[in-house]
Amino acid sequence: MTNTQLANGTAHTLPADLKKALATDKNAGEIWQSLTQLARNEWICWTISVKQQKTRDDHVKRVISELKEGMRRPCCWMGCIHRTDKPISPSIQGILNKRSKT
């Protein structure tokens, strides 16, 4: 699988580090292509939303391993807040409001 064949998400473009990891692992790349555009978007947002490079590197590795374990979306994550095709749910807005106060 080549890098150019890997699909993006709804609101996010596949970043270079995740694209490289998916292209390197044929099985993970094939699973990636089988995901919905929204599911791919969740993985991308989960990967890029961290602050430290070490955490991001860990997330890239986890995307590969968790896809191969059968996970279709990141676990225990509130979801992408960057989507413009739907409003943010009240529960997520409450979390965001709490975060902005700290």
pLDDT of residue 101: 78
Report the percentage of the chain scoring pLDDT > 70.
92
Confidence grade of residue 71 (pLDDT, cut at 50, 70, 90): very high
* pLDDT attached to residue 1: 57
**pLDDT, greater one: 52 or 83:** 52
Q: Which domain, by its residues, includes 97?
A: 3-101
pLDDT at 4: 52
| Torsion 82-84-85-88 (CA) sign | positive
Q: Which two tokens stand for residue 42?
A: 């969740």
Task: Give how many domains the chain has, as a whole number.
Answer: 1
pLDDT at position 21, please? Answer: 98
The pTM of this model reads 0.80
Residue with tokens 């978007």: 41
